Structure 1
Amino acid sequence: MSKTNNKVSPDLDTPTDLSPDGVKKVSEALNVLLADAFALYLKTKNFHWHISGRHFRDYHLLLDEQSDQIFATTDQLAERVRKIGGTTLKSIGQVAKLQTIKDNNEDYVPPREMLRELMQDNKHVAAAMRKAHDVCDDAGDVASASILEVFIDETERRTWFLFEATRQEGSNAA
């Protein structure tokens, strides 16, 4: 939604049976998730490009797979906002304003710390998706809620894989 008048351009005003307030709330929630998806995607790619050490190949492939999966969510989130009549992100500047995932601009991060940080970020995203799911439920937007259910499962899978990759040999805990 435009910040100046909270109205969508008539050319972009997609018809929906959701209430205008529901469209606004769902769009806002999904746009934060979209910003976080872009931030997590770039962080995952950053770590993919800068991973080193004895597990290089395994971690490099894991992070490449995970970044592809994260990026695949962006179009679905943005298109869902448009399907209900909202507007979505238009720039990196908007991503920076809305993201809740912290960037990592360090020159070097040890591999295990990379994976642990991404694990925590994925846990954060799953929790944010659950909150957005509640917003969708309140607005009666079952389609957005359904998409989020799949994304929550995928995010939990990424979290699990990152957790297992950071466990010490012979350890039952991380």
Structure 2
Amino acid sequence: MTQAKSSTSQRKVNPDLDTPTDLPQEGVDKISAAMNTLLADTFALYLKTKNFHWHVSGRHFRDYHLLLDEQSEQIFGTTDDIAERVRKIGGTTLRSIGQVAKLQTLKDNDESFVPPGEMLRELMNDNKALVATMKKAHDAADKYEDVATTSVLENFIDEAERRTWFLFEASRQEGGNEA
């Protein structure tokens, strides 16, 4: 047994995965839940951004294609850090696409065609929603003084706000001033 928390924990964790932590079990559970929702939304946003990257068309094709590719890489690049934060504090994380689908709060877009301006506005709004999810996870981590998780999230919030800004400005090229 790694710590006393393991014997008093109500959750069932394989002893081989019971990472030692100084956080109370309640903190591990709440931070892990918030981070797993964030991770599910991050995977959903990654796939939607890639989808739009693959299917963008129109007069700004090259610019949007490259922008969405860059953004999808950045989004995917956060997934390992999010999952590893959960493991470092003693939680467990997503194991399947089914768990992603169960936990994600962002809506998928399975339309056969989406005009470029709508793509950009939808991704802008999804990035804004992702920031809100990050802030909830940040609040949970802050409550339990998990400074490493709050620090990681602060950087990711800044990156998502930058993506939101770029998508807003690009959507204006498409006549989407109401974004």
Distance in 2 (CA, whole Å) between partners of 1:103 and 1:57 is 24
Look up the match of 2:41: 36
1:29 to 1:106, Cα distance in 2 relative to 1, 3 A: same
Q: Quick one: distance in 1 between partners of 2:113 and 2:31?
A: 38
Residues 111 and 141 of structure 1: is their aligned pair in 2 closer, same or farther, counting only changes over 3 Å?
Answer: same
Kindly report structure 1 stretches of 4+ aligned residues shifted beyond 4 Å.
168-174
C-alpha contact 2:117 2:174 (8 A) present in aligned 1? no
Partner of 2:171: 166
Aligned partner of 2:133 among 109, 125, 128? 128
Superposition pairs for residues 1-174 of structure 1, below 5 Å? 6-168=11-173, 174=179
In 1, distance between residues paired with 2:125 and 2:50? Answer: 16
Helix, strand or coil at the partner of 1:167: helix
TM-score (norm 2): 0.91
- 89-98 or 139-148: bigger deviation: 139-148
Residues 46-85 of structure 1, C-alpha deviation per residue, up to 9 Å, x if partnerless?
Answer: 0000000000000000000000000000000000100011
SS class of match (1:71):
helix
Q: CA RMSD in A?
A: 1.5
Q: 1:61 to 1:132 in 2, by over 3 A?
A: same
